[in-house]
Amino acid sequence: MKEQYFAGLDGSLAGDRTAKPRSSGMTMVVDWGLGAHAQQDLTSTAAAHFDFAKIAVGISRLYTNEVLREKIDGYLAQDIEPFPGGMYLEYAEVHGRLDLYFPAAVEAGYRWVEVSDNIAPVTLEWKERVIRQAREEFGLQVLGEVGKKEGLDNPIPLVDNARTCIDAGAAIVLLEAAELVGEDIEVQREVEEIVRVIGVEQVMFELPGPWIEGVSPHDIHRMRRALIERYGTQVNIGNVAADELMSLEAYRRGLGVNAGQE
């Protein structure tokens, strides 16, 4: 790590933060179409503080091959793993083009993919098969998302869904933000059961965003604070907005707004 003028002033929480490559305390930034210069600005100032970059929804489709490869290579050069959002894989399934998805991901340079079941009417057997296919046939690492998009039903119990992802070979379970919003006690019990069954190190909690009705910046800050207070500074947090990354890292280290309050 390069020399830092203020090294040693992080407080007691600084020692809890691990350096990359790390298996806990990971952060995933959601990239909604950052241009080359914006991405370079982000990585030049904050590459040490995030581990994954989700190229949201189907945005990968909107780039030329040259631009997408430049974007992927730019992240990889900074030890950040980019991956296409899981809704794009679901789109491929719904439109009968799943056979094209993994080959295209590999050719583009992705090494990780997300497998979700938010909007497609699929089964656990489908999810297990697709995760195994990604791992065994294409050598891809997998983030398996569980949960639902706001307002959409998913009858599969969260714990069964998470266990299926891990058993099929997913390295990380993404817990959909919509499951964490609100005061549903039963949902909170399911979340705790997932943590108990697969371990907090393999769970990444996704923050909510404006795509969920009624979510404000305050709600996002409150949730990230609650996650760190409940699971510690090494909790894995995803769907972090690019312009919120540094404030999150500051809070992890006891330097942010409300940090250190009892």
Helix axes 185-198, 158-168, angle to 10 degrees: 20
Report whether 262 contacts 51 (CB < 8 A): no
Q: Kindly give the confidence (pLDDT) of every residue in the chain, 262 residues in length, as a single tens digit, with 9 standing for 90 and above.
A: 567 777 666 655 555 788 899 999 999 999 999 999 999 999 999 999 999 999 999 999 999 999 999 999 999 999 999 999 999 999 999 999 999 999 999 999 999 999 998 777 788 999 999 999 999 999 999 999 997 655 455 577 889 999 999 999 999 999 977 666 666 667 778 888 999 999 999 999 999 877 777 777 788 888 888 899 889 999 999 999 999 999 999 999 888 665 544 3
Domain 22-252 has CATH 3.30.465.10: no
Q: Exposure pattern of 77-116 as b/e (b: 16+ CB <10 Å)? A: ebebbbbbbbbbbbbbbeeeebeebbeebbebbbebbbbb
Give kind and range of the element (H or E) at residue 73. helix 65-76
Report whether 34 contacts 242 (CB < 8 A): yes
Tokens of 136: 């065994």
Pick from 194, 174, 182, 123: which is nearest to 151 by CA?
182
Pick from 205, 185, 208, 183: which is nearest to 194 by CA?
205
Q: What is the pLDDT of residue 149?
A: 57
Report whether 58 contacts 91 (CB < 8 A): yes
| Residue 44: CB atoms within 10 Å | 9
| Residue 188: CB atoms within 10 Å | 13
Between CA 62 and CA 237 the distance in angstroms is 27
Q: What is the pLDDT of residue 260?
A: 46
